[in-house]
Structure 1
């Protein structure tokens, strides 16, 4: 349930934006996740989602492109691997993403 109502990763936000909704009238087009999935043979360095992530530059210093994020607890039985702080992800979800879904 927390994955749908309190998602903690930009990829999850993208997936939720690309799903049709049956609980309300569809007024806008679905929002696709930009780019192509990475090669499973040649995974990008750093965060595997960084080439497609619109928030890859939020953490300073290019860390998303050089270091793989640690899997951290983001809620009860809810984990996330993202270089953004949980506070920053919560702010982005609340102010930018959720209102558009």
Structure 2
């Protein structure tokens, strides 16, 4: 998602798969819409946030360091999907009065 490109398998001279994959990095990447689903819990209470249509609206600089994990910063923007931006599911009965 960060690079706005698709991986593809490199073929040999006889057009046979090599087992090597390549990602071409475009200077003007084309980002496509995706769906985003995030699950989390608090003890036995489960939550799921579903955003049916998301696009990358910004990406940060690649930060590489020998002493830290690589960082690929993305900013995502929720887009309209049939009048919705998304929804949250839970098994917590929040309709009961406390």
Give the TM-score of the pair, scaled to structure 1.
0.24
Normalized per residue, which structure has more strand?
2
Max Rg structure: 2
Higher relative contact order (CA 8 A, sep 6+): 1
Normalized per residue, which structure has more helix?
1
